Structure formats: structure tokens, C-alpha cells
Amino acid sequence: MNAPRIAPPPEKLSLNTATVKAQWRLDEIIEGCARHGIRGISPWRDQVAAIGLARAAQLIRAHGLTVTGYCRGGMFPAADAAGRQAARDDNRRAVDEALEIGAPCLVLVVGGLPPGSKDIAGARRQVRDGIAALLDYAQPLGMPLAIEPLHPMYAADRACVNTLAQANDLCDELGDDGLGIALDLYHVWWDPELFGQIKRAGRKRLLAFHICDWLVPTADLLLDRGMMGDGVIDIAGVRQAVETEGYAGFHEVEIFSAGNWWKRPPDEVLATCKQRHAACC
């Protein structure tokens, strides 16, 4: 008999700032989180740059928020050596920013095929090499890297690491010291190996847990994520699985929703995140 599912503590809720990026600047998002009692926040680099890194870090500290991740590094593959070097330089800057803002990990969306390429195996080799080089930089600084597997529909343009098994394989190959996984339910909920790979990852590798829902039908594969409870993902079941393995971190709401949630008043969005986190997670 399965153990009863218990509502998550409200203090475990985090907001990925993409969820209201269409309505608010980062300073407004920080103030909104504090006003709604959302204790975690995961900012995106472009939003940080828009108000300045030092100011973003200061505002997060002043409002007593906990940074739960920094989005994002990655995009390693390129058509030539100059492009690959530019990506590595940018990723080192992302590590430095993550350190200043107080993030527990830098989330990696690894990148897909270089323009004009059909060599996905080669792209995956570039990803492995790019992560290895970045790990050499980030590890001594104490900034963990979190590989985020993306749904296979993004293999060509956003991420050629598409399953939790692939992410675990990279951790096996490159080492667990400073390297782990950001588990985003939108991307991995469908995987028949999901629960076995969560167990394989274990507490040490599970660095972040992102939640939202998969709508049926889905109007846009990038910009139509659902609020928790509006779709088909067993969010509570996966939360139970990661916490059984020892994950004790935040539950980070990350919703891209051009047709719905990005059009709503942001205070309504944050209030709904709180309500659905309690009810569905």
C-alpha cells in the first residue's frame, strides 16, 4: 500500500522568474515573491542583466529570499572552434554571476545541433567536452553544475541531452564532484525510465526540481506550459520519488505561457502558484 501523500511545506516553494517575466522586471518579481511569502527564487541571466548583477543580489538578500538556481548556462555546441570558445567564455561568466547572486547551482541547457549540422552524436560529444571544461572552472570555485535534460522535441535546437539516463551517464563519465541534474517535470514526466533514473541519480545528483504541468492539448510546445493541476503530470508522485532519494530542496515553479499565465496579473499568478503547490505537489 502506498504511503499517504502529504502536502509540501509552503516554505519549499520557489519561483523561477520566467513564470512572470512578461509582466514584471526582476526587481518587481523579487518584491512580489516577498509580498506573497514565496521564499525561493531562481532568476534568469537576461533579467539579472536588465537591472544589474550587484543590484539583483542585493535585492534578493534584502528581501530574505533563497536563490534556488541560476538560469542558465550551456549552449555548448557550435559550428567552429571560435564558436565553441565563445560558449565556454560565456559559461565561465555565468558561473561567476551564479556565485555573486548566491545560487546553489548553475542550470545547464546544453544546446542542440550547430546550424547546418545533422550530426547529433557530434553535438553530444561537444556537450560532454563543454561540460568537462566548465567543470574544471566551476569546481574549484564551489559552483555545482546542474544538467537539465529537455524533452526530445528540443533535441535539434535547445538540448541534445533529452533523458535523465543521458544526464546520469554524463555524471558517471565526468564525475559527481560538482556535477548533477536539474529535474524539470515538463521535460521528463513521460519517460518510462523516470523513476528508476531518479533512484540512480540519488540525493547527491538531484540539485534542482522544477514543476509545472503538461496540457492536453498543448497549443505551443515551448510557450504553453500548464499551471500545476491543469494537466496530466503526477507531480506529487514524482515529488515523493525525489524526496525518497533524499532531495530536500525547493519545488521551483517554471511556467512559459504566452497565451495564458503571461497575460494574467502577476499577483494572481503568484497566488495561484502558492495554492496549486499546496494542492497538487
| Residue 237 · residue 189 · CB < 8 Å | no
Per-residue pLDDT band for 213 (boundaries 50, 70, 90) equals very high
Element holding 71 (H helix, E strand) = strand 70-74
Q: What are 112-122's pLDDT values in tens digits?
A: 999 999 999 99
Is pLDDT of 189 > 60?
yes
Q: How far apart are CA 143 and CA 99, in angstroms?
A: 7
pLDDT at 2: 56
Q: Where are the domains of the chain?
A: 10-280
**pLDDT averaged over every residue in the chain:** 97
Work out the burial of residue 190: count CB atoms within 10 Å of its CB; fewer than 13 is exposed, 13-18 middle, 19 or more buried: middle
pTM for the full predicted model: 0.97
Q: How far is CA 132 from CA 26, 121, 127, 181, 207, in A?
A: 31, 17, 8, 15, 18
Please give the pLDDT value at position 239.
Answer: 98
Domain 10-280 architecture? Alpha-Beta Barrel (3.20)
DSSP bridge pairs for 201 = none
C-alpha cell at 29: 518579481
**Residue in this structure with the C-alpha cell 495564458, named with its chain if needed:** 260
pLDDT per position as a tens digit, 30-49: 999 999 999 999 999 999 99
- Tell me if 66 sits within 8 A of 39, measured CB to CB: yes
